[in-house]
Amino acid sequence: MPVTVDSPVRIGKLAIGALGTLALALGTLQAVVEPSLPLLQSDLGIGPAQGSLIFITLLITGAVVAPIAGKLGDRYGGKRVLVILMAVVSAGGLLSSLAPNLPVLLLGQILQGAMVGALPLSFILVRKHLPPGQTQVAVGVVSGLFTGGGLVGMLIAGPIAEGLSRHWMFAIPTIAIIATTLIVSRLMPDDPPTESDSRIDWLGVILLSCTLVALVLGFMAITGGGLPPLAIGAVTLAVAALAAGWVAVERRVSSPMVDLRMLATPAMWSSCLVTLFMSLGLGMTVYLVPQLLSAPADEYGFGASSSDIGLFLVPATIAGVVAGTIAGIASRRFGPRAVIIAGTVVTAATLLFLASQHDAIWQMVVARALIGFAVSVSAVALLASTATAVAAKDTGIATSLLVVTRVVGVALGAQLGGVILGAGTDPVTDLPTETAFTTGFITAGVIAALSLLVVRAMKKGVRA
């Protein structure tokens, strides 16, 4: 029989701490590649173009796995699916640590990409075992520690790879994941499935996965330039056809992967739109700020090296970690809607400030930290709001859709930033003009501000 949440088994701080520690280890494993990419390219004998495949592979896998993991968690129980998913991630981490060449490393990254599904599964667990107010705080803690893992990964990757080897920078976080998974399995009570009599909509799963892959790869191909208009039209039609096919299937099956009625509620579609707008603005910022910092100092930039840029971005990562906990507490105190509005206003205002004031490093560092904090606060508030606004049986799929929207939005935003700089490149110096950066920051600010038009549709209350 379906399980209700009237009398859930309550969990304590140790269980939440175990979930948070697991998120920290996952974030660390996810982040070790970026700062050590030059070393990986040299060790494996690959170029920058091949190196970028590592990030693309992880992104696509995460976008595909998250909604599937969320749906399976709703059906079979979050704890059960989380443990299985962590076994897949651990296998990927160990494979990456032993990889002798790029194909094996890519296979490891494909398996590691499943880690994105851990967030919606964690939200299922806290939703089932905590009351709404505590759920919002727990969501903030888990999200913040996942972001914190990114900071840890960026800081330890280089020293471990240079002091030991590139193999250990994958192995050490993987060992931590295995250990914390065992602890979570012991401390977290079982959560029986809420839809034990439903069937998995595998056709919907396949169509949604194909739509996400086609969207990301198609947008990258189009923004990369070189495609004739006919090819661009074909890519657009292919994505539209896949999306339409998925909607048609979801409307007809008895147990859809995503209940379109839930997706059509103001709480859900508004959260998805706000997440998309904020993620697009963040993605553009993530791309534009390092480009401006590395631009020649005799032009308009600062001539910063990769190591310098990494240090300049540390405050932004720390701000994202702090934002997770603050957002959970603030959402319980003031309501998610108020937190989202505040985060949106700060993000848009800071981006517009950058458009006019970007001639000092401190301006870049402070602005990037403010944006990282505001976007993270909004993202956690959106997740907390969604996790408590939908029915308990839809927690996994609803929050996973927001996670996917954010991942895809950041990727598309980065591509959009690249298009703007490419269009504003000076043919003489082969460098983007300062005006191109100004245009990019203004565009990002306007996109983020569009969230305010959508927030008004969000519900103020939550479902118990």
CA distance 232 to 388: 40
Q: Following DSSP, what letter does each residue of 152-216 receive, concatenated? A: HHHHHHHHHHHHT-HHHHHHHHHHHHHHHHHHHHHHSPP---S-TT----HHHHHHHHHHHHHHH
| Residue 117 contacts residue 139 (beta carbons within 8 Å) | no
Check residue 99 and give its pLDDT.
85
pLDDT of 463 higher than 60: no
Q: How many domains does the chain have?
A: 3
92, 144: one domain: yes
**Backbone φ, ψ for residue 17 (5° rounding):** -60, -40
Does 430 or 173 have the greater pLDDT score? 173
User: Greatest CA span in the chain, whole angstroms?
Assistant: 71
268, 242: one domain: no
Residue 228's SS3 state is coil
Q: How many CB atoms lie within 10 A of CB 176?
A: 20
139, 24: one domain: yes
Mean pLDDT of 44-72: 71
- Any bridge partners for residue 426, and if so which? 431
Does 273 or 328 have the greater pLDDT score? 273
CA distances from 208 to 77, 113, 198 (A): 22, 17, 19
Residue 346's SS3 state is helix
The radius of gyration of the chain from alpha carbons, rounded to an integer in Å, stands at 21
Percent of the chain at pLDDT exceeding 90 = 10
Domain assignment present for residue 460? The answer is no
| Residue 232 contacts residue 222 (beta carbons within 8 Å) | yes
206, 300: one domain: no
CA distances from 169 to 35, 152, 163, 243, 432 (A): 11, 11, 10, 39, 35
Does 261 or 367 have the greater pLDDT score? 367
Side chain identity at residue 322, one-letter code: V
244, 370: one domain: no
Domain assignment present for residue 192? The answer is no
Half-sphere exposure of residue 376: CA atoms within 13 angstroms, side-chain side: 29
Mean pLDDT of 62-75: 76
What angle is formed at CA 409 by the lines to CA 304 and CA 317, rounded to 5 degrees? 45
Token representation of residue 462? 């939550």
Domain assignment present for residue 8? The answer is no
- The predicted-structure confidence for 120-133, as pLDDT tens digits, reads as follows 777 777 776 666 66
244, 278: one domain: no
CA distance 48 to 55: 11
Token representation of residue 391? 């029915």
Check residue 317 and give its pLDDT.
77
- The predicted-structure confidence for 176-203, as pLDDT tens digits, reads as follows 999 999 988 888 777 666 655 556 677 8
Half-sphere exposure of residue 156: CA atoms within 13 angstroms, side-chain side: 18
251, 265: one domain: no
Check residue 131 and give its pLDDT.
64
Mean pLDDT of 270-297: 85
Enclosing domain of residue 383: 261-455
pLDDT of 430 higher than 80: no
Token representation of residue 57? 């592979």
- Any bridge partners for residue 432, and if so which? 425
Mean pLDDT of 295-322: 76
Model confidence at 1, pLDDT cuts 50, 70, 90, reads: very low
Does 143 or 337 have the greater pLDDT score? 337
111, 239: one domain: no
CA distance 79 to 237: 39
**Among the listed residues 174, 170, 47, 33, the one whose alpha carbon sits nearest the alpha carbon of residue 98:** 170
CA distance 315 to 247: 42
Model confidence at 460, pLDDT cuts 50, 70, 90, reads: very low
pLDDT of 2 higher than 50: no
Out of 187, 214, 236, a domain closes at: 187
240, 137: one domain: no
Mean pLDDT of 324-336: 76
Q: Best-predicted range by mean pLDDT among 50-54, 101-105, 426-430?
A: 101-105
Question: Which positions ≥6 away from 133 have C-beta within 8 Å?
Answer: 332
Domain assignment present for residue 464? The answer is no
Question: Which positions ≥6 away from 316 have C-beta within 8 Å?
Answer: 365, 368, 369, 371, 372, 373
CA distance 383 to 144: 12
Domain assignment present for residue 195? The answer is no
CA distance 341 to 381: 10
Out of 213, 233, 256, a domain closes at: 256
Domain assignment present for residue 297? The answer is yes
321, 441: one domain: yes
114, 63: one domain: yes
**Among the listed residues 108, 79, 398, 455, the one whose alpha carbon sits nearest the alpha carbon of residue 278:** 455
Token representation of residue 342? 């505040």
Question: DSSP secondary-structure letter at 456?
Answer: T
Check residue 461 and give its pLDDT.
41
Question: DSSP secondary-structure letter at 3?
Answer: P
* CATH code of 429's domain: 1.20.1250.20
Does 17 or 97 have the greater pLDDT score? 97
- The predicted-structure confidence for 137-183, as pLDDT tens digits, reads as follows 676 677 777 777 777 777 777 778 777 878 888 889 999 999 999 98
pLDDT of 398 higher than 80: no
CA distance 141 to 161: 29
**Backbone φ, ψ for residue 296 (5° rounding):** -55, 140
Mean pLDDT of 392-418: 77
pLDDT of 254 higher than 90: no
Domain assignment present for residue 24? The answer is yes
pLDDT of 443 higher than 90: yes
Residue 463's SS3 state is coil
305, 403: one domain: yes
Side chain identity at residue 436, one-letter code: A
Average pLDDT, the chain: 78
Check residue 6 and give its pLDDT.
46
Check residue 292 and give its pLDDT.
85
